[in-house]
Structure 1
Amino acid sequence: MLKSFNLLKQLGSVGKSQDATDLLTEDLVMVEQRVEPAKKAAQVIHKKLLGCLQSQLGLDTERRMKKLPLMLLSVSMAESFKEFDPDSSIRKVLEMCCFMESHLAATLADFELKLEKEVLEPLNKLSEEDLPEILKNKKQFAKLTMDWHNARNKSQASTGPQAKHNGLKEEVEEAWRKLESIKDQYSADLYHFATKEDDYANYFIRLLELQAEHHKNSHDFLERNISELKENHSQTDSQENNSKQKVYGEPLLTHLYNSGREIAVPIQECVHMLLHTGMREEGLFRLAAAASVVKRLKSSLDGGVVNHSEFNDPHAVAGALKSYLRELPEPLMTFELYNDWFQAAGEKELTDKLEQFKIVLKKLPSENYNNLRYLVQFLSCLSEQQAV
């Protein structure tokens, strides 16, 4: 305020000057030197800001939003998730992402509309209207100053008749009146610029404020919704994992507990399929099947859904069964009883051997005993069939 008051006093004293060299005070000369850089800064920054926009000028928020890349991304997500079944986790995540990208597009459109109204339009007016008018008066001031100097020099150098001298004097006075008029206008322009300079600087501060507001709103929205998305996705994964527990590589007791079964799925399903297709197959547990078929069958068993008609190669079924037994963290016959089994098998007399096997079998956990018994019964049946 004090700076503006002092400048106003200086401008008031300018009008009393009768020498063109004193028409502008030192402070006004300093103000004058800031006009051209201000115009250039406003022009350059306005142009660069336009390049930062992702939407078209002059549109309302809704119409801007439709043309934003973020909105096009949201639309693509909406089209993509329709291809998935309603229970797909990918569909559920894409649905949420679609909503979030759409909201971010709306937030961006609103930010760019505010930026246009509160920064771009004022900068454009400053660089294309307000400051060019001051510079136009500056140019006129310089021209009329030169005209006044020329008229005065011509009058002072005149040696002709008095009438001619009087005419030249009138030209000097007329040139001075014009110079005084433009000086008043130009000085007023400079004073106005000086008093508004802080307002012009605020355009750039407002740019940063709008950016901060936009990024904060976007960040808060993303943080809040990503947390919700992760929580929901985690719950979905947990539910799916509970309903579709992996079988291969899982401890036997864990699988039986989760599935509510007495016999493991791979053992029971593979035995059922082999009873129909593999009882007379030569080299059933010796010959290898196509790895891709075995892998597909294992995936089906892991998922809990097996279409028996899809797997008519008994060697692939036998391969899936052997793979399950190999991948058990602890074998059916258990690590703990390894030495007992070894000692029982070492008995020379068959009667003693069978008696020792019965003793070891009684030491097995019930889940191991039930599945081993089921498997041995199948192998016994297979042996009888292939012996015929």
Structure 2
Amino acid sequence: MLKSFNLLKQLGSVGKSQDATDLLTEDLVMVEQRVEPAKKAAQVIHKKLLGCLQSQLGLDTERRMKKLPLMLLSVSMAESLKDFDPDSSIRKVLEMCCFMESHLAATLSDFELKLEKEVLEPLNKLSEEDLPEILKNKKQFAKLTMDWHNARNKSQASTGPQAKQDGLKEEVEEAWRKLESIKDQYSADLYHFATKEDDYANYFIRLLELQGVCMYGKVYGESLLTHLYNSGREIAVPIHECVHMLLHTGMREEGLFRLAAAASVVKRLKSSLDGGVVNHSEFTDPHAVAGALKSYLRELPEPLMTFELYNDWFQAAGEKELTDKLEQFKIVLKKLPSENYNNLRYLVQFLSCLSEQQAVNRMSPSNIAIVLGPNLLWPRMEGEAALLDMASASSVQVVAVVEPLIQHSSSLFPEGTVPHSM
């Protein structure tokens, strides 16, 4: 009885208001206002996305692809070209078109399968299961709040016999117990929604990522030339975005490129870069950004400094006189494809800026070359041989190449520099 009395006393300031939100904390009221819009957004976008699909839900990639209009077009082209002789120019063009339509169908099929599993299904669960349960408890909370107010007002207005007044007080206490129970459940629902809101937002981010990969292709593991052609850029997305973020947050960070970050954060950043959508404020750990940049360089099918010039770099680094060494470096740099040159220049000039802060970040040109050099230049090897080379004498030689590039970047790359740290 004392507990119920104290609880009722705590809520005495509510007065005659019958608004359920008066019983919630201010932060929960703010969260509560987001639930209904979230449900509506999830429902509407789920419905519109379904309307965009060209394949049937629930099918695997291969069966889905066979039913796509693009694949049917490819089959028709394949059948049509049979009527032409092998030397016909129309036949040759149809063969090319047949392959391209088939490739587009496979790409679209893969995109729609991932869209179904990673966006549509989570949005449907959110709008049809998770949020309706919260809204159901909201409705019950409002009803029981009304019941409690009515019981309390009835009790306060009673002037009848003591026995009747005691009965009305018991009804107030019972109404409060029910209200307290649903209030606890509803508050827990709202707190859970608040903790999961970023995850829900990621459903829409994932949509953009999938669309980016579908439109422009993957970035990680793709050749530099293909990526630049698909994206219409001069500087690769991971290099440009990571350098930009590090200029803001990482220039004075000790051990940048040397210390590892949480693998899950690096993976998420790589996924965002693959999709072409990066929220800089989401990735505040400079080591994660540096890790994503190192990973991009290492996953290139060919090193940024190229297989072809592998020996040329070492020969240039072997010159004893600094003047001769720099002249030989300039000769090798001119042999680089323009795409490789532009990206190497952009990266090295950033690394030069980073080394200017070595008194704080402990990353001298030598230290940078040690941790990053093997990701810029490696021999044309595969499998275990390439892994062993990373720890061999040739990796030490790479340091002798990359260190002077950083030290003398202004002389070797006179075209301009990236912005200094902000």
Q: Normalising by structure 2, what TM-score?
A: 0.46
Deviates more, 1:175-184 or 1:321-330: 321-330
Displacement, 1:27? 1.1
Aligned to 1:78: 78
Q: 1:340 aligns with which of 293, 312, 319?
A: 312
Give per-residue Cα distances to partners, 1:252-296, cap 9 Å, x unaligned: 999999999999999999999999999999999999999999999
8 Å contact 2:209–2:271 — kept in the other structure? no
Give per-residue Cα distances to partners, 1:68-92, cap 9 Å, x unaligned: 1100110110011011011212112
Counterparts of 1:265 and 1:156, CA distance in 2: 69
Distance 1:285 1:116, change over 3 A: closer
Counterparts of 1:160 and 1:172, CA distance in 2: 16
Superposed structure 1 runs of 4+ greater than 6 Å apart: 1-21, 246-388
Counterparts of 1:385 and 1:12, CA distance in 2: 61
Deviates more, 1:374-383 or 1:256-265: 374-383
Displacement, 1:23? 2.1
Distance 1:113 1:380, change over 3 A: closer
8 Å contact 1:11–1:191 — kept in the other structure? no
Distance 1:309 1:80, change over 3 A: farther
Distance 1:118 1:12, change over 3 A: farther
Give per-residue Cα distances to partners, 1:277-325, cap 9 Å, x unaligned: 9999999999999999999999999999999999999999999999999
Distance 1:199 1:66, change over 3 A: same
Q: Secondary structure at the match of 1:279?
A: coil
Deviates more, 1:101-110 or 1:273-282: 273-282
Distance 1:53 1:308, change over 3 A: closer
Counterparts of 1:380 and 1:315, CA distance in 2: 18
Distance 1:15 1:105, change over 3 A: farther
Give per-residue Cα distances to partners, 1:42-98, cap 9 Å, x unaligned: 011111111111111111111110111100110110011011011212112211211
Deviates more, 1:281-290 or 1:187-196: 281-290
Give per-residue Cα distances to partners, 1:314-370, cap 9 Å, x unaligned: 999999999999999999999999999999999999999999999999999999999
Distance 1:84 1:255, change over 3 A: farther
Give per-residue Cα distances to partners, 1:200-253, cap 9 Å, x unaligned: 111111000000xxxxxxxxxxxxxxxxxxxxxxxxxxxxxxxxxx99999999
8 Å contact 1:7–1:27 — kept in the other structure? no
8 Å contact 1:294–1:320 — kept in the other structure? yes
Q: Secondary structure at the match of 1:149?
A: helix
Distance 1:6 1:49, change over 3 A: farther
Displacement, 1:100? 1.7
Distance 1:102 1:158, change over 3 A: same
8 Å contact 2:209–2:275 — kept in the other structure? no
Distance 1:160 1:356, change over 3 A: closer
Counterparts of 2:63 and 2:345, CA distance in 1: 72
8 Å contact 2:81–2:95 — kept in the other structure? yes
8 Å contact 2:141–2:186 — kept in the other structure? yes
Deviates more, 1:348-357 or 1:11-20: 348-357
Aligned to 1:145: 145
Q: Normalising by structure 1, what TM-score?
A: 0.50
Distance 1:71 1:36, change over 3 A: same
Displacement, 1:104? 1.2
**RMSD over aligned Cα atoms:** 28.7
Distance 1:346 1:98, change over 3 A: closer
8 Å contact 2:19–2:142 — kept in the other structure? no
8 Å contact 2:16–2:149 — kept in the other structure? no
Displacement, 1:379? 84
Displacement, 1:103? 1.5
8 Å contact 1:4–1:195 — kept in the other structure? no
Distance 1:69 1:167, change over 3 A: same
Give unmatched runs, 5+ long, in structure 1. Answer: 212-245
Give unmatched runs, 5+ long, in structure 2. Answer: 212-217, 359-420
Distance 1:194 1:367, change over 3 A: closer
Distance 1:317 1:169, change over 3 A: closer
Distance 1:263 1:177, change over 3 A: closer
Displacement, 1:99? 1.6
Deviates more, 1:327-336 or 1:41-50: 327-336
8 Å contact 1:270–1:318 — kept in the other structure? yes
Q: Secondary structure at the match of 1:57?
A: coil
Q: Secondary structure at the match of 1:370?
A: helix
Displacement, 1:116? 0.4
Counterparts of 2:159 and 2:251, CA distance in 1: 139
Q: Secondary structure at the match of 1:347?
A: coil
Q: Between the two proteins, what is the percent identity of the paired residues?
A: 97
Displacement, 1:5? 30
Deviates more, 1:364-373 or 1:34-43: 364-373
Q: Secondary structure at the match of 1:261?
A: coil
Q: 1:307 aligns with which of 269, 274, 279?
A: 279
Distance 1:18 1:177, change over 3 A: farther
